[in-house]
Structure 1
C-alpha cells in the first residue's frame, strides 16, 4: 500500500479539517464509503461537510435522506452557518397517509412494496441530478426494509455497482439502530470510518474517529480525536513522531541569567526537553517564564500552554518580577494559551502544539505536567502521549520546558503523580530547605544530556528584581530532604545568600 496525493484527480477532499491527513490524502473517487456511529456522533454533519466541499468545487451533489426531513437538515446546516444552496436534497420518507388503516397493505408484506418504491425513487433522483458526490442517510432504514441479511447485502451491492458506473463517490451513513448488527456493508464498502462518543466522569465527552478499513491506502491508523463545533467537524490526527523525523543542528539558548547558564553548562540545547520539578511555590513557572522572556527579547518566537495558572495572572506575575511578556504577545512573538483539561482532548492539545511549532516557536512551555495528566482520559497512556510529543518537538529543534509539581513541601514524602524524569532530557530540581529559622530555596541540575553541567546545589531566590541564582550551598548536608544539617564555622556569609543581594 502507498500514501496518496490529494492533488491527484483520482481523489476527493472530504471537506473535514484533519480527515484528509488521516486518510493519507482524501477519498478515492467513484467508491463507496461507510460512515458508522451511534446517533449524536456527527455523521450528518460530516456528510454535509463532504457535500459542501463538492458545491465549493462546482460539483453536482445529492443528499438522499430516508429518515430526516429537509427542515431538520436545514436546521443542522444553519447551526453551523452553512448555506444549502447548490445542494440537492431528496426526501424518501414514509408519508403521513401510511398511518391511515385503509392504506395498509394486505396482499403484500409492507417491506416488499416499500423497499421497491424506495429503490425506485433513489435511482430516479440519481438519474435526475447525476451527482459526483452522494450521501445516503441512513442504511438502517434499508436494512429494516430488506428484512434479511442476504437481501440487504444484495441491495447494497447493486447500489455500489450502479453508482460506480456513474462516476459517483458515495457516503452511506449507518446509525447502528437496525435490529441486526451484522457487518454486511463493511465488507462491501471501499472504506469504513467509525465515529465514537465516549462519556467522561467530568467535563465534556470525548469524540474519537477511526478508519477501520481503506483498501489499497496506507492510512493513518489508530484512534484520532475530533470535535464538533460551529463550522462542523475538526479531526486532530494522532501525533506520531516517526512521521516527521529530521536532523537539526543544536545551539544553546541562554536563560538571560549568567549564574543559571553556568549551572546548566551554558543554557538549554535546542531539541532537548527539560523537566522543572519541585513543590508548589518554589518558582517553577517563574523559571520557565525567564527562559521565554530571554528568548522573546532576542526575537525568537515562543508558546506557553497554561493548565494551572490563568493567563492574566501569569502575565501580571511575570511583569512584577521584571519579565514583561506583554510586548512579546503584542508583537506576535509569544502565544500564551490557557488550557481547560476538562474540555480539551489530548489530540486537540497535540495539534495546538504542532501549530505553534509550525508558526516558528523555538521554546514551548507546558505548565504543568499535572494539568496535562488531567487532559488524558486514560492515565496508562500518559507516558506514550508525552513521549510522542517530546520526540516530535525534539526532532524540530524546539526547546521544551515542562513544569512538574511535586506533592508535599519539605521532607522525604515529596512525590509526583507520574515519574517523567526519565523521558525528559534534562531535569532541574527546585527545593525548599530550612536554615536559621527561614524557609529558603535551592536549585540543582540532576540530569542533562546535551552538555556538561554543574553538580552543585545553589541558593535560589525570587524577588522584585527577578530570579537570583546564588552561590553554592557549601557546608550543608541533606538540603534535598528539606532539613539540612551544617556547621556554622564552615559557612561563609555568602553561602546563606547574604552577599548575593537576594531578598531573605
Structure 2
C-alpha cells in the first residue's frame, strides 16, 4: 500500500503514534529479514518479542521491555490444540547461605549404605556412572524405592527403557512397587525425548516437585536427556540448571550416566559433568579368567567420609548384593 520502504515506515510510525495518543495498547507484528530489517520499528516500540523457529525447535525471546526487567535469553514454546505454551529456561535459584537440615537416603542395602557412611545426603546431586548393562538403572531404582518407603516421595524419569519393561524387570527382582505407586509416593514416567522440548521436560519435573512434594528425582539417563536438546547445544548448561535448581529446592538428584569403558580404564564421564556431582558412584566390570564380574566403588562424597575400596556386587532378587573382593582380585585390579 506504500510507494516505498520510507513511506511505509513513516505511515506505520504515524499510525502507532496516533493509537498511543488515544490511550490504546498496541501490539503489532513484523517480519524481519536480512534484506528488510525492522530495526526502526523496534526502536519506537516499548517492548520487543522475537519468535524464531529452527528445524526442530521454536524459541521466544524478549529483547526489550521499557521500564521493566525480564528473563533474557531464548525460551522454548509450543503451539498445539491447547494454545500457546511457553516453557521458561531454568535458572537455578541463589544458593542458601546456611546448610539446610538434611536426611540420609538409603539404598535398601546395608553394605552399600555403610560404604557411603550411612547413605546419600538429601539435597545433593549424585552421579551413578558405568558401562551398559552393569546395573545403573537398578541402583537408581533402589534409591527411589527406599526414599518412597521412608515417606519421601520419589520420581523416576526413564528415557531409553520402555516403562513396561522397566516395571516388569523391577517386579521380577522382588521390588514391591504397586503400594508405593498407588500411594503417590513413587512416580515412574517414561519420557520420549523426540516428543519433548528440553525446557518443557524440566518445567514438567519442577511442576511435579512443587505440586506433588517430590523429594528425590532419578534422571535415567543423561544420554536420553541429551537427545531432547538442540543439535548444537551441549548437555552441560541444561543439565547444570536442571540438577542445581532441584537441589536448591531441597530435592535429592540422582543422574544415571553411561560411559563406554567396560574394564581396565577408570573413566567417570566423557561429558565433563563430574564437577556437578556431590557424590559419584562408579560401576564397572572386572574380567577374571573367562568371566566378567561387576564391581562398585565410591569415587567422591563431599559431605562425609566414605569407604573407597572396590567391592564385587550382583543384582539379585531384592536389589544389590555386595560381596567383599578377595585379595587376589584386588591384586588384579
* Fold conserved between structures, TM > 0.5: yes
1:28-427 matches, within 5 Å, as 145-176=1-32, 180-199=36-55, 205-242=56-93, 248-359=100-211, 360-378=213-231, 381-412=234-265, 416-427=269-280
Q: Residues 364 and 281 of structure 1: is their aligned pair in 2 closer, same or farther, counting only changes over 3 Å?
A: same
Q: Which residue of 2 aligns with 1:429?
A: 282
Matched, 1:460 2:313: yes
> Counterparts of 1:364 and 1:313 in 2: how far apart (Å)?
20
Larger relative contact order, structure 1 or 2 (CA cutoff 8 Å, min sep 6): 2
> Counterparts of 1:245 and 1:316 in 2: how far apart (Å)?
40
Q: Residues 225 and 245 of structure 1: is their aligned pair in 2 closer, same or farther, counting only changes over 3 Å?
A: farther
Aligned length: 331
Preserved CA contact (<8 Å) 2:20 2:26 = no
**Which whole-Å deviations, capped at 9, do the CAs of 1:262-288 have from their partners, x for residues lacking one?**
011111111111111111111100000
Preserved CA contact (<8 Å) 1:240 1:388 = yes
User: What SS is found at the alignment partner of 1:173?
Assistant: coil
* Structure with bigger gyration radius: 1
Unaligned runs of 5+ in 1: 1-144, 200-204, 479-483, 486-504
Preserved CA contact (<8 Å) 1:457 1:473 = no
**Which whole-Å deviations, capped at 9, do the CAs of 1:2-52 have from their partners, x for residues lacking one?**
xxxxxxxxxxxxxxxxxxxxxxxxxxxxxxxxxxxxxxxxxxxxxxxxxxx
**Which whole-Å deviations, capped at 9, do the CAs of 1:409-449 have from their partners, x for residues lacking one?**
23439774413222211100111112354321111100011
Matched, 1:444 2:301: no
> Counterparts of 2:36 and 2:273 in 1: how far apart (Å)?
47
> Counterparts of 1:415 and 1:395 in 2: how far apart (Å)?
24
RMSD of aligned residue pairs (Cα, Å): 2.3
Query: Normalization by structure 1: what TM-score?
Result: 0.62
Q: Residues 147 and 179 of structure 1: is their aligned pair in 2 closer, same or farther, counting only changes over 3 Å?
A: farther
> Counterparts of 1:245 and 1:226 in 2: how far apart (Å)?
31
Query: Normalization by structure 2: what TM-score?
Result: 0.91
User: What SS is found at the alignment partner of 2:324?
Assistant: strand
**Which whole-Å deviations, capped at 9, do the CAs of 1:266-325 have from their partners, x for residues lacking one?**
111111111111111111000000011111112221111111111111111111112232
Unaligned runs of 5+ in 2: none
> Counterparts of 1:355 and 1:459 in 2: how far apart (Å)?
39
